[in-house]
Structure 1
Amino acid sequence: MPAPPAWQKVPPDQVRRFADLAMEQVPDIARDILRAMRQEFPNLQLTTDALGEPKALLAIRLALENFVGQLTTDIEQPRELPEVFREFGRNQALAGRRLDSLQAIYRLNVRLAWRSLAEIGQKVEIPPPAMYELAESAFEYLDELVSHSLHGYAEVAAGQAGERIRRRRLLVDLLLTEHRADPPATLAAVAERAAAVDWPLPDEVAVAVLLRPDRQLLTPALGDEVLLDLDGEPPRLVLPDPEAPGRVERLHRAMGGWSGAIGPSVPVTQAATSLHWATAAARMIQEGLLPHGGLLSCSEHAEALVLLPAGKLIDDLARRRLDRLTEVGPEQARRLAETLLARLETQGGAPEVAARLGVHPQTVRNRLRQIKELWGDDLDDPDRRFELELILRTRRLRGELTDPNA
């Protein structure tokens, strides 16, 4: 830090008197600053050296000596000074102090230091313009020291953030592991790991599986209550207390462009069950069997999740139960299948079926007569009716039959 221009106009012997007097008072100034720091910040944790002296006292003294020394000669900053201030920043981060608290400590230091230097300037009659410039230099010097401490603070903060992310990921892994025995022990293990990351243990959770987007998206701003693991394959999140008012709605708003599926609400020790359904739904979204976009709710697509994966079994059953439709053409077969499904769902007569399909009742009567001829007594057998409804609902989910609700 070269001397400010106005100082270059101050007679050298006057600058020397200022510097000598300041250097002489540096130990007292440093102790006064440390005392004020402890009074202003009673919970301040200070490390000590081998002799038991606070390292902060050494840092303050070094900083003052370096600042004053540069007024009389172009000296290099003491090699240990940056590391001393980096260590101070690290220690404050480890003690859990906020960044604004660290900056407040420095503001107090420079204010007290400047008060002492201003008194010395008056004693040796340093001109006011030179003292004003010296004040500006003092604050620039402070910024340089703060940058060293911020670097140390950031090192620790980054490490703590990484450790926190690691612990939260371990919690997610434990939650999503299938636990088959000893529920009390499982709950205790989950509770212990949740406490390690300050995650309040909920009664129920819902697990979502996310689909990686084709383009880069911002990380969803979900807050600490939602456990998010974007490094997993696939990415997953755990939503606590999903039945709480507005909880799922807030999750949807926070997802941005991310899509995927969220499983049903389950007790916290059964999160693997919710993960199972969310995984199945996400896979079906990728296969085009379920709609893509946003966060799909498994509970709203339970029919598809149950029936579509059983496609081969349903097809085998269909070959035996719908074989009679081969007696009519493809288009008539489709119309009869839709009419039969509407009849099974409504359990009504021609007017109710016609209303559901949006066709004339007489048309429905004709179709129902033909259906009766094809299936006969099977329509009176509850097991056969159930099988027919399963087959026809599956075909509607596949898009092979028209959905009257669409």
Structure 2
Amino acid sequence: MADSSGTTNRAARLELDQRVARELRDRLPLVAERTVSAITAEVPSYSGTLTGQMRDKIENAVRIALGTFLQLLERSQGGNDPSTPLVPALEAAYALGSGEARSGRSVDALLAAYRIGARVSWRELAAATVEIGLPAATVAEFAELMFAYIDELSAASVAGHADELASVGRARRRNVERLTQQLLAGEPEEVLSRSAERADWPVPETLTVALLPQAKLRGALALLDERTLESSEELPAGEPGEETAVLLVPDAHGDRRRQLARVLRGRRAVLGPARPWARVCSSYRRVLRVVELGIAHPAEGEPLDTEQHLTELLLSADVEALTDLRARVLQPLAALPAATAERLTETLRCWLLHQGRRDDVAADLFVHPQTVRYRMGQLRQLYGDRLTDPRSLLDLTVALALPVGDTGAG
């Protein structure tokens, strides 16, 4: 770290001979001890932490920092390059800030320690300069230069602290992104557990996938669990050029699913099922399948809940098989005119779904109950005993579960 400050230049103007500097240097052990005592007493983050070897280490660091300052003054009087001792001091201060960030202490605690250190150091050294008999102007210049030096050290420490946090933040973001992709890809649980540990991500009981437009993401994230993971992709079923956000929401199972649905209301979201956290890939596949089918969102703005469309998902799993089954069970109607076959097929579908309740079938078809009775008479003639055979009724129900003409393929 290069020295670009004016402290070294100003040091040359201070009339402080080597004898005085040596006398001040003799006071450094006491200054360091009292400085560390004040920091531990006044800064809660350091209370109880600066003990034993750690205290000795910090006291030594204070002695070195103040010793570097005095060395700077001595060199300035000797005509040598005064920047030489300051460069390692700034580098050490930068490293101190970085280490404090890794230890979890805030920059506020670090700056508080510097403020207290500056106060105590100056109090002790000022008393020494008065005892030595330095002129008042020299003492004032000494004080100004010392505080400027400590300001430079604190600025270097703040830079080290900020850079360390930024580096840690980037590393964690990379680890979280890797974990998210591994979860969506269905990696083995042991791989996921290691990735979760590296990402410092607390493992939940379940994860639920939600898809929504990227433009509607921020407002939702503010209301969701802070452990929520996110990814993004462009889905063919979305609006042209629209990027879609993929959210993995922790512990949104049971009654909390309704709360998640409320958060996603009005955001054109697709909500997958809750799954054990390491098996969230199945929730993701479920959501993608619903998007592929092109199932419409509820008109009232509720999220499209995949749990409400399990029949369509099941029947669309093998579209050719469903088509073949439908053709087979409708074979008795094959010889009829197309319009007649369509009316009877829809009547049979409603009859199956309403378990033969004639008035309900009539209401669903918007016809008179006698019309339903007439059509069912035709169907009984065409199907015979198959309308009372359990296996045939199962085939008919599955084949006609979706509206006529809809194979579930979207």
Settle same-fold status: TM greater than 0.5: yes
Q: Are 1:279 and 2:285 matched, yes or no?
A: yes
Choose the corresponding residue for 1:37, options 36, 39, 44: 39
Matches within 5 A, 1:95-106: 95-106=103-114
Q: Are the equivalent residues in 2 in contact too, given 1:30–1:60 (CA < 8 A)?
A: no
The aligned counterpart of 1:309 is 317
Report how many residues are paired: 374
How much has 1:285 moved relative to structure 2? 0.2
Go from structure 1 to structure 2 and tell me whether the alpha carbon gap of 1:346 and 1:246 turns closer, same or farther (over 3 Å shift).
same
Q: Are the equivalent residues in 1 in contact too, given 2:358–2:372 (CA < 8 A)?
A: yes
Matches within 5 A, 1:382-397: 382-395=390-403
Choose the corresponding residue for 2:328, options 297, 320, 323: 320
1: CA distance, partners of 2:82 / 2:53: 28
Go from structure 1 to structure 2 and tell me whether the alpha carbon gap of 1:247 and 1:71 turns closer, same or farther (over 3 Å shift).
farther
Choose the corresponding residue for 1:288, options 294, 297, 305: 294
1: CA distance, partners of 2:288 / 2:321: 22
Choose the corresponding residue for 1:246, options 250, 256, 259: 256
The aligned counterpart of 1:92 is 100
Q: RMSD across aligned C-alpha pairs, in angstroms? A: 5.1
1: CA distance, partners of 2:272 / 2:261: 10
How much has 1:140 moved relative to structure 2? 6.6
Choose the corresponding residue for 2:65, options 60, 63, 74: 60
Question: SS in structure 1 opposite 2:400?
Answer: helix
The aligned counterpart of 1:262 is 272
Unaligned stretches of 5+ residues in structure 1: 180-185, 401-406
How much has 1:300 moved relative to structure 2? 2.4
1: CA distance, partners of 2:324 / 2:20: 100
1: CA distance, partners of 2:88 / 2:265: 48
2: CA distance, partners of 1:337 / 1:229: 46
How much has 1:252 moved relative to structure 2? 6.6
Q: Are the equivalent residues in 2 in contact too, given 1:210–1:261 (CA < 8 A)?
A: yes
TM-score by length of 2: 0.67
1: CA distance, partners of 2:23 / 2:339: 104
- Opposite residue 279 of structure 1, the aligned amino acid is R
How much has 1:382 moved relative to structure 2? 1.8
How much has 1:324 moved relative to structure 2? 4.0
How much has 1:195 moved relative to structure 2? 6.3
Instruction: Provide, for residues 263-313 of structure 1, a one-character-per-residue CA deviation record: whole Å limited to 9, x for no partner.
Output: 3444x5xx43x5224313314304524649986443222112211122110
The aligned counterpart of 1:16 is 15
Matches within 5 A, 1:115-264: 115-116=123-124, 126=136, 144-162=152-170, 164=172, 169=178, 173=182, 177=186, 202=204, 204-208=205-209, 210=211, 220=221, 222-226=224-228, 228=229, 230=231, 238-243=248-253, 245-246=255-256, 249-250=259-260, 253=263, 259-264=269-274
Go from structure 1 to structure 2 and tell me whether the alpha carbon gap of 1:17 and 1:166 turns closer, same or farther (over 3 Å shift).
closer
How much has 1:337 moved relative to structure 2? 3.0
2: CA distance, partners of 1:56 / 1:256: 58
